[in-house]
Amino acid sequence: MNKTPILIAGPTASGKSHLAVELAVKLNGAVINTDSMQVYEDLQIISARPTEEEMRRVPHFLYGVLKASERCSVGEWSRLAAETMEEVEEKGLRPIFVGGTGLYFRALLEGLSTIPEIPAQIRASAAKTIDTGGILILYDDLRNRDPESAARISPNDPQRIQRAWEVLETTGRSLSDWQKDKQEPVLHGPVDKIVLEPDRRKLYFRCEKRFERMLGEGGLHEISALLKLGLEPSLPVLKALGVQEMAEYLHGDVSYDQAIKRSKMVTRRYAKRQLTWMRNQMGDWPRLDPLSPNLVEQALSLIDE
């Protein structure tokens, strides 16, 4: 049987997990998480992990495998993905990587740079600067010290700005320089690629309805339990969509309706950034409309080709 890996990318709330399960059923596959938040066991609801029913239908890997107190860098996920590939191959299953984290897909196909771990004090310094003066202070410093990296990053992309600044501050080398030194990719040989690209307005509607559903399923309780762990503020798990916004409500800083409104807004903005990234970085990947009634058949046709 064909064991060529299948890669399914798409923005949040685009229906990736459902498609992956249906393909795994038909192709004797295993679903492998390629999302930076779904690796955390404490975020089952808020990260929209596959349902228990979906996970019973086919084997799933790398979902909920880390504690909230752990950091899952691209390098750590890449190591876990390589180990998972060996396990999936030993079971005779077809690997289906699915998620919305672009850098994870890049690690699969291109390898990644060997950037050292960022010390906690550097992360804290960046966070303090952002809190007191805004992300543009880091961006201006980055433009002065590392103009090559700054030129490749939009001033409206705070996550990438902070990352580039932290790397420079930690190592004295630019992020661009580090990215030229890459490890081996996880995957070698041919792969089947699919990007789910819905209409933007329909995607925004799905994002909002899904967040409402998450709250109805206990998402607020999940966030409350997460906050009670007393985690270090810079940990990735606390940057999950809706966590900071609903935390403001739990702390009494905003109303419930305001927190929901802000959560929906940051989710829409994140989905927009994902769409833009995938158009720029995955321009040659075949596109499918996830709202098509014949989505699974269309995906199977692409894979057969």
Q: Topology of domain 6-112+183-304, per CATH?
A: Rossmann fold (3.40.50)
Q: Give the pLDDT of residue 225.
A: 98
Q: Does domain 120-178 have CATH number 1.10.20.140?
A: yes
Q: Give the pLDDT of residue 112.
A: 78
Element (H, E) at 288: strand 287-288
Question: What are the residue ranges in the chain where pLDDT is below 70?
Answer: 1
Kindly list the domain boundaries of the chain, sorted by start residue.
Answer: 6-112+183-304, 120-178
The answer to whether 6-112+183-304 and 120-178 have equal CATH topology is no
pTM of the model: 0.83
Return the residue matching tokens 């798409």.
10
The residue among 11, 62, 59, 37 whose CA lies nearest residue 186 is 62
Question: Using one digit for the tens of pLDDT, what is the confidence trace for 50-87?
Answer: 999 999 999 999 999 999 999 898 889 999 999 999 99
Q: Are 5 and 192 in contact (CB under 8 A)?
A: yes
Q: Distance (Å, rounded) from C-alpha 163 to C-alpha 171? A: 12
Q: Are 61 and 32 in contact (CB under 8 A)?
A: yes
Q: Give the pLDDT of residue 272.
A: 95
Q: Give the pLDDT of residue 49.
A: 96
Please count the CA atoms within 13 angstroms of the CA of 129 that sit on its side-chain side.
18
Q: Give the pLDDT of residue 257.
A: 98
Q: 265, exposed or middle or buried, with CB in 10 Å at 0-12, 13-18, 19+?
A: middle
